[in-house]
Chains A and B, each alone.
Chain A
Amino acid sequence: MKRGINFLFVGVGGQGILTASDIAAEVGLEAGYDAKKSEVHGFSQRGGVVESHVRWGEKVAAPLAEKGTVDYLIATELLEAARWIDWLRPGGTVLINNQRISPMSVTVGYAVYPSDEDILVAVRARTDDVTVTEGLVTAQRLGNPRLANTVLLGALSTRLDVPPETWLAVIERRVPPRYVELNREAFWEGRRAMGSK
């Protein structure tokens, strides 16, 4: 009997959340789990909050996890990690891409973007297992900001009992051929960030 695992990918419209969560769902299926994933398209994607649920299990019924039961919260943006932290089960894992994207409510002066410290204090109130990856820096060094998500996937892969080759095989299927090598590199960078190989 395989233990059920819930993932929640969160970020801002346009950051490539949907592809990253697609990959995680497909890896689950490849690894012998039943898998479901769910997201919302349309209006909110225009610079708004994007969330995508992925569930692995022996047999998954609901496409959405229940608040407070998420094992892995993967945030491509700092503020979004704080917004969704209540979905994490206490002691769960948080992986954050170190990037700030200012919401319009902040730009027009209706609200204030909290400091990195305040965000991390809030997130750590839920769990000690928090990693902030420099995915964006790595991605920019490799020449494409979108690779930040692959860095996160690499980091995530170190916590799961699925060989990295399975992840890479799925990633290769999902990205255009000319980006395969860069994605590979970004993936290993993510694994190294977690002190793994």
Chain B
Amino acid sequence: MKTTGMVAGGKRLLAGNEAIALGAWEAGARYAAAYPGTPSTEILPALAQYAGVRAEWAANEKVALDAAVGASFAGARALAAMKHVGVNVASDSLMTLSYTGVGAGLVLVSADDPGAFSSQNEQDNRHYARFGKFPCLEPADSQEAKDFTAFAFELSEQFDTPVMLRSTTRLSHSKTAVEVRMPTAPRESGPLPPFEHKSRKYVMIPAHARLRHPEIEDRLQALAEYAEVARLSVHGEAYPLNRVEWGDKRVGVISSGVAYQYAREVFAGFSFLKLGMTYPLPARMIRDFAAEVETLVVVEELDPFLEEQVRALGLEVIGKEFFPATGELTLARVREGALEARLPVGGESRVSGARSRSKSQGEPETVQPETLKLDVPVRPPALCPGCPHRSVYFNLRKRKMLVAGDIGCYAIGVLPPFEEMDMLISMGASIGMAHGARQAGCPDRVVATIGDSTFFHSGLPELASTIYNRGVACTMILDNGTTAMTGGQDNPATGITLQGETTQRIDIESVVRAMGVEDLWVVDALDVKGVEQAIKDAAAVEDRPTVIIVNGACVFTPQFQRRAVVAADPEVCNGCGFCFRVGCPAILKSDEIDPKTKRPKAQIDPLLCTGCTVCLQVCPRKAIHQTSGEEA
């Protein structure tokens, strides 16, 4: 499983995710699977371009990991990639994969999201490494992302363990220079060797699991020893995985990942212990480093994961009391912490007020930049012009339903002007939550809203449970023909694989019918009245589960049909504001005020309008009309 010769291709800017894919390919990975999730999404599409790798979108993260496990047991190097919360879904397999160990190398990429830019929480997945007793690598830039990924496969095989490569949003989505070597010949993979039957290792019945557990403890000890000396070899040059950078010894900073980059600037000139492997830790290296410096500091994002382990070695350290455990670190937050801790760093605090650690996550209606007297309106995310979800939340609000939401663009339904979502917690949960609320006696009419990809991710067992338990909640499946929030990936309902093959398209309506749901409505998302009627009809059914499938292509899919833009007639519009309630970014308040209502009239931005006509359908005065298209 060797890569062929490589020639220098020079430095290129690669995103962390692209670099991870390149590293996996250089290491000879033959199988990779993922479920799309920010910030991990781009890894698999990047890997899918390389010859010799089978790369797939799995229906969910557990399936992705399970398939990678199968490939690894069968002797192929395999990678599974997911966002931090995706690892929760895969964790059932992950915890026992630690016991079985691997066949060929297996790498799990966990892309965490400090700051929760596009996530429902900001959990720190390094805890999984300690929980599951397997190693965790944390690259600090794209070069390391590539190198560490390739190294992770070797580590996995050397210690018979899954390896977690932990990325974060700022690593995955930052582009930094990478020395790229291009192959001199296509990689030859050849056939896999015959399957090695090792049932005591691969079949985790209780008797086998009890035998494996002591081996896992021994492995962890051995890995901790290895952490003291581990070196990576990259294109013939070796460098240490964990390294000491001596400088001014008044301060010694222990750091890892992107946090190291902020610390490197703020603590310029001081000493560093830069950790590439953050579990298990090199205890001697840390003690020796601590002994040389006057003040020991740990700078890390999210939880005090390193700090607690350093303290457990009996060392005094400055950490989370000055560097926040919530949100993403920035240069300013690291500098602020350092200054507060009275460490001898340069610069001045730019964070106004007291400690920024407990900064409110709530969004104010306006932000006030410090240096100017201007209220800058917030710009929350909005459903795109032409979005098929618009008619759904408009109508749900109109019908005053209790809505259990799910993970996807349609979570925007909770924001103004809809404000029509009452619960949202995790992938697929909408259906179970709606069911539970009704079964417990909630008097409201409850609707679950879930997208096509999320339905196949984990909505299926939730709907099965509702049907089985004689549930009465209504499930609305919003089929927009893609996994939209993450940028438009294919899924089991689209009929196309990650590597572009045509495949069986799983028809959602047939699935729901096969599950025995007879009260089923299939409606066109751009038919506002039709959607409303289906919601009304479903609400009238009180003793059986109902399903409404709302079909409408996402504006970013090739199926979406742009039509002639609409325009509002200022002679007819009286500023009633009804069209503002569909929350379309293309509908603006014009400068013209209606003399009677004293309210601004509607104006439609022809650059943004897609001609979906939802606003035209809801306008009570018929002031909006379709143009001939010339205004577009």
Give B63-109 interface residues, CB cut-off 8 Å to A. none
The answer to whether A48 touches B173, judged by C-beta atoms less than 8 angstroms apart, is: no
Give B576-596 interface residues, CB cut-off 8 Å to A. 577, 580-581, 583, 585, 587-589
Complex partner residue of B365 from A36, A43, A110, A145, CB under 8 angstroms: A110
The answer to whether B372 touches A29, judged by C-beta atoms less than 8 angstroms apart, is: no
Asked if B261 is at the interface (CB within 8 A of a chain A CB), the reply is yes
Give B24-55 interface residues, CB cut-off 8 Å to A. 38-39, 41
Give A32-74 interface residues, CB cut-off 8 Å to B. 34-49, 60-68
Segment of A78-86, A156-164, A178-186, A189-197 in the binding face: A78-86
Asked if A101 is at the interface (CB within 8 A of a chain B CB), the reply is yes
Asked if A106 is at the interface (CB within 8 A of a chain B CB), the reply is yes
The answer to whether A114 touches B375, judged by C-beta atoms less than 8 angstroms apart, is: yes
Known contacts A67-B350, A122-B369: A79-B379 contact under CB 8 Å:
yes
Give A93-136 interface residues, CB cut-off 8 Å to B. 101-114, 118-119, 121-123, 125-126
For A14, give the chain B residue with the smallest CB separation.
Answer: B384
Segment of B329-337, B456-464, B526-534, B561-569 in the binding face: B329-337
Q: How far is the CA of A111 from the CA of B366 in the complex (A)?
A: 7
Which residues on A sit within 8 Å (CB–CB) of B607? Answer: 145
The answer to whether A40 touches B169, judged by C-beta atoms less than 8 angstroms apart, is: yes
Q: How far is the CA of A6 from the CA of B270 in the complex (A)?
A: 24
The answer to whether A22 touches B38, judged by C-beta atoms less than 8 angstroms apart, is: no
The answer to whether A37 touches B174, judged by C-beta atoms less than 8 angstroms apart, is: yes
Count of A interface residues, CB-CB < 8 Å: 60
For B140, give the chain A residue with the smallest CB separation.
Answer: A61
Say how far B370's CB is from chain A's closest CB, in angstroms: 6
Known contacts A40-B169, A48-B379, A102-B585: A63-B365 contact under CB 8 Å:
no
Which residues on A sit within 8 Å (CB–CB) of B41? Answer: 41
For B408, give the chain A residue with the smallest CB separation.
Answer: A43
The answer to whether B369 touches A108, judged by C-beta atoms less than 8 angstroms apart, is: no
The answer to whether A64 touches B330, judged by C-beta atoms less than 8 angstroms apart, is: yes
Known contacts A85-B372, A86-B369, A114-B376: A40-B173 contact under CB 8 Å:
yes
Which residues on A sit within 8 Å (CB–CB) of B417? Answer: 104, 107-108
Say how far B303's CB is from chain A's closest CB, in angstroms: 21
Complex partner residue of A126 from B371, B486, B583, CB under 8 angstroms: B371
Asked if B170 is at the interface (CB within 8 A of a chain A CB), the reply is yes
Complex partner residue of A83 from B367, B585, B588, CB under 8 angstroms: B367
Asked if B381 is at the interface (CB within 8 A of a chain A CB), the reply is yes
Known contacts A40-B118, A102-B585, A109-B580: A22-B173 contact under CB 8 Å:
no
Give B390-416 as 1s and 0s: 1 = Cβ < 8 Å from A's Cβ atoms.
000000000000000000010110011
Asked if B322 is at the interface (CB within 8 A of a chain A CB), the reply is no
Which residues on B sit within 8 Å (CB–CB) of A22? Answer: 13, 175
Which residues on A sit within 8 Å (CB–CB) of B169? Answer: 40
Known contacts A43-B381, A49-B379: A63-B117 contact under CB 8 Å:
no
The answer to whether A107 touches B580, judged by C-beta atoms less than 8 angstroms apart, is: yes
The answer to whether B409 touches A46, judged by C-beta atoms less than 8 angstroms apart, is: yes
DSSP class of B's interface residues: helix, strand, loop or mixed?
loop
The answer to whether A42 touches B374, judged by C-beta atoms less than 8 angstroms apart, is: no
Give B149-191 interface residues, CB cut-off 8 Å to A. 169-170, 173-177
Asked if A16 is at the interface (CB within 8 A of a chain B CB), the reply is no
Which residues on B sit within 8 Å (CB–CB) of A80? Answer: 379
For A36, give the chain B residue with the smallest CB separation.
Answer: B176
The answer to whether A63 touches B379, judged by C-beta atoms less than 8 angstroms apart, is: no
Q: How far is the CA of A40 from the CA of B373 in the complex (A)?
A: 28
The answer to whether A67 touches B332, judged by C-beta atoms less than 8 angstroms apart, is: yes
Q: How far is the CA of A4 from the CA of B50 in the complex (A)?
A: 36
Q: How far is the CA of A170 from the CA of B82 in the complex (A)?
A: 32
Which residues on A sit within 8 Å (CB–CB) of B285? Answer: none
Say how far B99's CB is from chain A's closest CB, in angstroms: 34
Asked if B264 is at the interface (CB within 8 A of a chain A CB), the reply is yes
Q: How far is the CA of A41 from the CA of B45 in the complex (A)?
A: 15
Count of B interface residues, CB-CB < 8 Å: 64
The answer to whether A110 touches B173, judged by C-beta atoms less than 8 angstroms apart, is: no
Complex partner residue of A113 from B370, B377, B409, CB under 8 angstroms: B377
Which residues on A sit within 8 Å (CB–CB) of B176? Answer: 35-36, 60, 63
Say how far B605's CB is from chain A's closest CB, in angstroms: 8
Asked if B11 is at the interface (CB within 8 A of a chain A CB), the reply is yes
For A84, give the chain B residue with the smallest CB separation.
Answer: B369
Asked if B517 is at the interface (CB within 8 A of a chain A CB), the reply is no
For A49, give the chain B residue with the smallest CB separation.
Answer: B379
Which residues on B sit within 8 Å (CB–CB) of A34? Answer: 177
The answer to whether B365 touches A44, judged by C-beta atoms less than 8 angstroms apart, is: no
The answer to whether A104 touches B585, judged by C-beta atoms less than 8 angstroms apart, is: yes
For A90, give the chain B residue with the smallest CB separation.
Answer: B371
Which residues on A sit within 8 Å (CB–CB) of B369? Answer: 82-83, 85-86, 122
The answer to whether A42 touches B38, judged by C-beta atoms less than 8 angstroms apart, is: yes
Q: How far is the CA of A61 from the CA of B263 in the complex (A)?
A: 9
Asked if A25 is at the interface (CB within 8 A of a chain B CB), the reply is yes
User: Which residue, A22, A63, A112, has most C-beta atoms of chain B within 10 A?
Assistant: A63
Say how far A116's CB is from chain B's closest CB, in angstroms: 12
Say how far B463's CB is from chain A's closest CB, in angstroms: 25
Q: How far is the CA of A106 from the CA of B587 in the complex (A)?
A: 11
For B608, give the chain A residue with the smallest CB separation.
Answer: A101
For A85, give the chain B residue with the smallest CB separation.
Answer: B369
Q: How far is the CA of A108 from the CA of B176 in the complex (A)?
A: 40
Known contacts A42-B38, A82-B376: A108-B580 contact under CB 8 Å:
yes
Give B464-493 as 1s and 0s: 1 = Cβ < 8 Å from A's Cβ atoms.
000000000000000000000111000000
Asked if B382 is at the interface (CB within 8 A of a chain A CB), the reply is yes
Q: How far is the CA of A188 from the CA of B117 in the complex (A)?
A: 36
Q: How far is the CA of A64 from the CA of B333 in the complex (A)?
A: 12
Q: How far is the CA of A106 from the CA of B141 in the complex (A)?
A: 39
Q: How far is the CA of A86 from the CA of B374 in the complex (A)?
A: 12
The answer to whether B382 touches A46, judged by C-beta atoms less than 8 angstroms apart, is: yes
Complex partner residue of A111 from B11, B378, B412, B415, CB under 8 angstroms: B378
Asked if B279 is at the interface (CB within 8 A of a chain A CB), the reply is no
Q: How far is the CA of A42 from the CA of B407 in the complex (A)?
A: 12
Asked if B277 is at the interface (CB within 8 A of a chain A CB), the reply is no
The answer to whether B261 touches A105, judged by C-beta atoms less than 8 angstroms apart, is: no
Known contacts A104-B417, A122-B374: A44-B117 contact under CB 8 Å:
yes
The answer to whether B265 touches A40, judged by C-beta atoms less than 8 angstroms apart, is: no
Q: How far is the CA of A169 from the CA of B621 in the complex (A)?
A: 53
Give A141-169 interface residues, CB cut-off 8 Å to B. 145
For B259, give the chain A residue with the smallest CB separation.
Answer: A62
Say how far A124's CB is from chain B's closest CB, in angstroms: 9
Which residues on B sit within 8 Å (CB–CB) of A45? Answer: 381
Q: How far is the CA of A181 from the CA of B397 in the complex (A)?
A: 48
The answer to whether A47 touches B174, judged by C-beta atoms less than 8 angstroms apart, is: no
A and B contact pairs by CB, cutoff 8 A, 28 listed: A29-B13, A38-B175, A39-B173, A40-B39, A41-B118, A46-B381, A46-B384, A46-B412, A46-B485, A61-B261, A62-B258, A63-B170, A63-B174, A67-B330, A67-B332, A68-B350, A82-B369, A82-B372, A83-B369, A104-B415, A104-B417, A107-B587, A109-B577, A111-B366, A111-B378, A114-B374, A126-B371, A126-B372
9 more contacts with CB within 8 A, not counting A35-B13, A65-B331, A109-B577, are: A22-B175, A36-B176, A62-B258, A62-B261, A63-B258, A86-B369, A103-B380, A112-B375, A122-B372
Chain B contacts to A: CB under 8 angstroms: 11-13, 38-39, 41, 117-118, 141, 169-170, 173-177, 258, 261-262, 264-265, 330-332, 335, 350, 365-367, 369-384, 409, 411-412, 415-417, 485-487, 577, 580-581, 583, 585, 587-589, 607-608
Nearest 5 Cβ contacts at the A-B interface: A42-B118, A111-B377, A42-B38, A47-B382, A103-B379
